[in-house]
Structure 1
Amino acid sequence: MKKKYLALLLASVMTVSVMGCASNGTGTANEPSGEAEINSEEAAVEAAESETEENIKTKEEETVMRNASGNVNLNQVGFMPKARKTVVVRGENLNPEFRILDAKTDEEVFKGTLTGPVEAKEAAETVYQGDFSDFTTPGNYVVKVSNDEESYPFEIKDGVYDEALKEIFLFFYKQRCGCEVEESIVGKIAHGPCHTSDAQIYGTKEYKEVNGGWHDAGDYGRYVVAGATSIADMFMAYEDFPEIWKTDSVGIPESGNGIPDILDEARYELDWMLKMQDEATGGVYHKVTCIDFPGYVMPEAETKKLVLAPISPTATGDFAAVMAMASRIYRPFDEEFADKALEVAKKAWDFLEANPGMEGFKNPPEIHTGEYGDGDSSDERYWAAVELLKVTGEQKYKDYVSKALSGNVPFGFGWDTMGTYGNAAYLSLDESLQDAALKDKVLEACKNQANEYLNNVKTDGYMCDLGTNYIWGSNLSVCSFARLMLLVNKYCPDMKEMYTAAYDQISYLFGQNAVSYSFISGFGTNYTQNSHHRPSLATSSLVKGMVAGGPNGGKQDPCAGKALKDAPPAKSYIDHSESYSTNEVAIYWNSPVLYLLSAIISGE
């Protein structure tokens, strides 16, 4: 390992620790908790030294370092041979020449010219861009610029993303609650059944069995809106890219049962969601958690009383939508379950119709876990109506959709903004269920919105689609914006720039960004490895395939707030376990990357 890289790594870790990122296990990415404490400077330095030694050991075991400075940034995982290939070089007044070298022999294999300078406004810096898409020879390489600085190594080969996609998918198995999670699949974070006690229904003396589902993030809460978002992404990946997701051999316990593994994994969450519906009314409870977040312990060590939070219209709408989808998708495999899914989806819709003005969810005063508050359920209702229309063809759903689209077309691929899920479903309807004018309206609105994201890519130094949207969970936004561009390209195949811009976001996620990190743990060279994820922290282990939240100009945790006080938005990221507002993980951050990566693999 080169001393230059060692010094950079040591300095970055120690700076973060000294400036207020000592761990106490109370933070969360769902909501700013304000509870993180700052230990003494001496203790922070000691922790940084220990942490650095472990990080360096991991790096030495997994890769051979060269003269990577962090100023030459690209997709650290690599590229498929025929794919677009780009590099971004930080600096001013640079010599425009760049070269590609064989990572083992230093032989020059390609020479190109940088263009620029280009402003990376949200990173407060100037960069140059290079394109080497014409170079297609498989192998391991680095990009070298005129001042002898190099990129991190990357690979060109068919299937270069296959292992990453597998681990991104397996994250959902690793997040299972209420069952044994097997060591042979997950390694050190294996655990026995957890959170198996009945949950008290808030405000009553009644209890309900709600075992199962996925822990949604770095804590152990289970949230319907988060789970529904992830399931929808899985379903869309399964339907849009069947050549990838028909597989029954990824390596979960259900593999080999004749059902695609992605549907088996989604079914585990769906079975839990069925328990979250109130049988009497059809409404769906918002979440089940303890009243506070646990420390950095394994899931079976969180044994406090579980509380079932009140019914919410957003949880009910999301539930109705994904159950309607499930009734279509599972019918070839399990007709009884498909019938049940449609039955409960309709029942949830009846609840929504009976409660048109129901207020959005807010945490009761005694509950301090993630809120997932959302005061507007119109987008969830719209999405549910489209999915039910798609399954049933019933006029009442068509009428509701027509009314919902009489105003502005809603957007969003996120737990609080679900409009684009509805738009994607509407555009895919049989023509007999569509209104031609409304279809044109939806598509035109999607094109207009996607063009804004395309312009962001064209004008940003790192070719990122975010614009100024470096918010909590910005990597979700990266994928959401890219997915809208892909949706437009699907219905407007002549708009090829949309696909290219979406592809650039994979490069952003794997290292072509202002902080020089691959945001997917275990992939690339300089990848996130100190995630805010309790099983990882409780076992001091690196869990592969987790997507970090990403740069967040709001810096809503004490660690980021202090260590990144003056950082511009695109650089507001720390690979530190206490930075829950930039470095936590979540199922609904993994699922959009799963979809986007599937699209890119399928497209090539």
Structure 2
Amino acid sequence: MIYLNQAGYAPNSTKRATITGNNHYNLFSADGKKILSGECTLEFDENSGENAAVIDFSEVTEEGRYFFADEDNFRSPEFVISKNHYDQALRDSMKMFYFQRCGMELEEKYAGVYKRKACHCGGGYILGDRFQRRKMLGGWHDAGDYGRYVTAGAVALAHLLYGYEMFPGALTLNLNIPESGGSLPDILAECKYELDWILDMQDEDGGVHHKCTSASFCGFIMPDEDDLDMVITPVSSLATADFVAIMALASRIYHKFDEPYSNTLAAAARKSWTWLIKNPSFIFENPKEVTTGTYEDLCDADERFWAAAEMYRLDKNEDAMKVILGTMELHLSMHCLGWADVAGLGTLSIINSGTDFFGKDLYNRLVMKWLDEADRLKLISQSNAFGITLRPIEFTWGSNMVILMNAMILCVAHKLTGDDSYLKSAQYQLDYIFGRNAMDLSYVTGIGERAFKHPHLRPTAADNIDAPIPGFVSGGPNFRPCDEAANPDNMSDVPAMKRYADDVRSYSTNEITIYWNSPLVFVLGYMNSL
């Protein structure tokens, strides 16, 4: 077997594939002409459980279509070598957010065959008081269900908006959405759809409610068929801090396009920052009446750090600087970019501000921490035949998210240093996502000859269309699967990289979510910016 990036490779990039079970390979052009032959020395790869080796075919630079074959006549998927090989993947992964929109009709001229009616237009009630309702219109469905969560949404927005801040040209694409051709670039118009919903989750005193979902998950029906009432759960410091950070960040990004809107976002950030300062110790637990996704986290120090970084960039707020300096003594992981651990987003904000805004000492300390993590990831990437930044035990729920966030760390390290070894390791993470893995699958719907087809996603399961909506990232292999399709008893002897089921029932390996797509957009955007 030969596993490779089914989305393709840039002409002058490092090009790698992985061969298993056979040590001889041939590379052919699509018309059958042999381009390259070679032999490899196989070694046991713990992640895949196979004897494997790396094929490096960087010497092949001519644009065109190719495929590999081994001595057992196994033929790989076809792939391209092209300067534009990631264009479709980037556009589709960006448009994924449009397909997750709640509260509006997806018209055929924008959604094609995936058109659907407006959903969840009845608002929601505050938990404990059914007579206190809010409009709750808009935002993105978080994942394969129809819930909307502030913490998850803020992190997805952060990946997109920091990407836009760092390399705006690469993310300024026409996505064919209703706002296309307007005053905002399409990616910012899409983000605004989520920001406007999150604004409605803020109370008058600045506290922000954690989530808006039904009390329990609905069945596998289209969103407009879901008539369960929406519940707005209590305020949390996690949601409030993430709210502060994303509103302050967005106010900076939108200022040159829409100053009044930017001012609205900034004012909302300031109000919630005041709430955070007044509530220094606050723990959130999912209410027992609501059994949808929890997004619980008993430590909010990292959320407060991210909020403080963005508030200092907004106002040079002295209370924010105190929080930042205090957090630096807590020994948090200052590079984490996920919903549970967001300190890396605060670090990214400080790094992006330059050497002088926060002071050179703080800037240099955080750059050093970031590069230390990038070096660690690079060493892991160089130690296995698939070039990935995970060890077997690290294939957690949403392992593809971890892979992509690691790629973000490596991309930023490359931007900071110009060291191409970081860029190569980041590219290997994309190789894995697009098919250089032991499942021989592209984990992005519609991209690659062997893309996964059955995401745990209600509209895809209920729309009676064979092909899934393109551009969605699968959660990926899970060392501890816990659903009927990826039954843990059946997977107990399966290597970590193969603990996966392309099955709509497999919520623990094959669900989708907005914050698994957003790091893919960031990484693809960075690659295209080069």
**TM-score in terms of structure 2 length:** 0.96
Between 429-438 and 346-355, report the one with greater CA deviation. Answer: 429-438
The match for 2:253 among 321, 329, 334 is 329
Q: Does 1:190 align with 2:115?
A: yes
Q: Output the CA distance in 2 between the equivalents of 1:129 and 1:148.
A: 18
> Secondary structure at the residue paired with 1:558?
coil
Q: Does 1:564 align with 2:523?
A: no
Q: Does 1:474 align with 2:404?
A: no
Between 483-492 and 318-327, report the one with greater CA deviation. Answer: 483-492
Q: CA deviation at 1:251?
A: 0.7
Q: State the AA in 1 paired with 2:29.
A: D
Task: Identify the residue that residue 348 of structure 2 maps to in structure 1.
Answer: 424
Q: Does 1:80 align with 2:10?
A: yes
Task: Identify the residue that residue 225 of structure 1 maps to in structure 2.
Answer: 151
Distance 1:153 1:431, change over 3 A: closer
Q: Output the CA distance in 2 between the equivalents of 1:171 and 1:79.
A: 23
> Secondary structure at the residue paired with 2:436?
coil
Task: Identify the residue that residue 402 of structure 1 maps to in structure 2.
Answer: 325
Q: CA deviation at 1:352?
A: 1.1
Task: Identify the residue that residue 214 of structure 2 maps to in structure 1.
Answer: 290
Say whether the 8 Å CA contact 1:90–1:126 is kept in structure 2: yes
The match for 2:453 among 529, 533, 536 is 529
Alpha-carbon deviations, 1:149-195, whole Å to 9, x = none? 22111111121111111111111001100111112222343222211
Alpha-carbon deviations, 1:206-236, whole Å to 9, x = none? 2222111000111100011111111111112
> Secondary structure at the residue paired with 2:75?
coil
> Secondary structure at the residue paired with 1:384?
helix
Counterpart mapping for 1:365-380 below 5 A: 365-380=288-303
Task: Identify the residue that residue 138 of structure 2 maps to in structure 1.
Answer: 212
Q: Does 1:109 align with 2:35?
A: yes
Say whether the 8 Å CA contact 1:140–1:156 is kept in structure 2: yes
Task: Identify the residue that residue 434 of structure 2 maps to in structure 1.
Answer: 510
Q: Output the CA distance in 1 between the equivalents of 2:411 and 2:193.
A: 28
Runs of 5+ unmatched residues, structure 2: none
Alpha-carbon deviations, 1:3-51, whole Å to 9, x = none? xxxxxxxxxxxxxxxxxxxxxxxxxxxxxxxxxxxxxxxxxxxxxxxxx
Q: CA deviation at 1:563?
A: 4.5
Q: Output the CA distance in 2 between the equivalents of 1:432 and 1:133.
A: 40
Task: Identify the residue that residue 502 of structure 2 maps to in structure 1.
Answer: 575
Q: Output the CA distance in 2 between the equivalents of 1:81 and 1:411.
A: 31
Q: CA deviation at 1:408?
A: 1.7
Q: Does 1:271 align with 2:201?
A: no
Q: CA deviation at 1:289?
A: 0.7
Alpha-carbon deviations, 1:441-491, whole Å to 9, x = none? 212211222222111101122111122310000011001111112222222
Q: Does 1:501 align with 2:428?
A: no
Q: State the AA in 2 paired with 1:427.
A: I
Q: CA deviation at 1:392?
A: 1.4
Q: State the AA in 1 paired with 2:171.
A: W
Distance 1:519 1:432, change over 3 A: same
Q: State the AA in 1 paired with 2:66.
A: Y
> Considering only aligned residues, what root-mean-square deviation do their CA atoms show, in Å?
1.4
Q: Does 1:166 align with 2:85?
A: no
Counterpart mapping for 1:130-209 below 5 A: 130-205=55-130, 206-209=132-135
Alpha-carbon deviations, 1:518-541, whole Å to 9, x = none? 000111111110111100110132
Percent same amino acid among aligned pairs? 35
> Secondary structure at the residue paired with 1:75?
coil
Counterpart mapping for 1:590-601 below 5 A: 590-601=517-528
> Secondary structure at the residue paired with 2:74?
coil
Q: Output the CA distance in 2 between the equivalents of 1:593 and 1:529.
A: 18
Task: Identify the residue that residue 387 of structure 1 maps to in structure 2.
Answer: 310
Say whether the 8 Å CA contact 1:142–1:151 is kept in structure 2: yes
Task: Identify the residue that residue 379 of structure 2 maps to in structure 1.
Answer: 455
Say whether the 8 Å CA contact 1:119–1:460 is kept in structure 2: no
Distance 1:344 1:567, change over 3 A: same
Q: CA deviation at 1:407?
A: 3.3
> Secondary structure at the residue paired with 1:144?
strand
Q: Output the CA distance in 2 between the equivalents of 1:160 and 1:380.
A: 36
**TM-score in terms of structure 1 length:** 0.85
Q: CA deviation at 1:396?
A: 2.2
Runs of 5+ unmatched residues, structure 1: 1-70
Say whether the 8 Å CA contact 1:112–1:132 is kept in structure 2: no
Q: Output the CA distance in 1 between the equivalents of 2:456 and 2:123.
A: 27
Q: Output the CA distance in 1 between the equivalents of 2:361 and 2:43.
A: 41
Q: Output the CA distance in 2 between the equivalents of 1:532 and 1:132.
A: 36
Q: State the AA in 2 paired with 1:511.
A: G
Task: Identify the residue that residue 340 of structure 1 maps to in structure 2.
Answer: 264
The match for 1:356 among 236, 257, 280 is 280
Q: Does 1:98 align with 2:25?
A: yes
Between 226-235 and 262-271, report the one with greater CA deviation. Answer: 226-235
> Secondary structure at the residue paired with 2:129?
coil
Count of aligned positions:
524
> Secondary structure at the residue paired with 1:210?
coil
Alpha-carbon deviations, 1:526-575, whole Å to 9, x = none? 11101111001101322111100001011021221255343121111111
Say whether the 8 Å CA contact 1:465–1:481 is kept in structure 2: yes
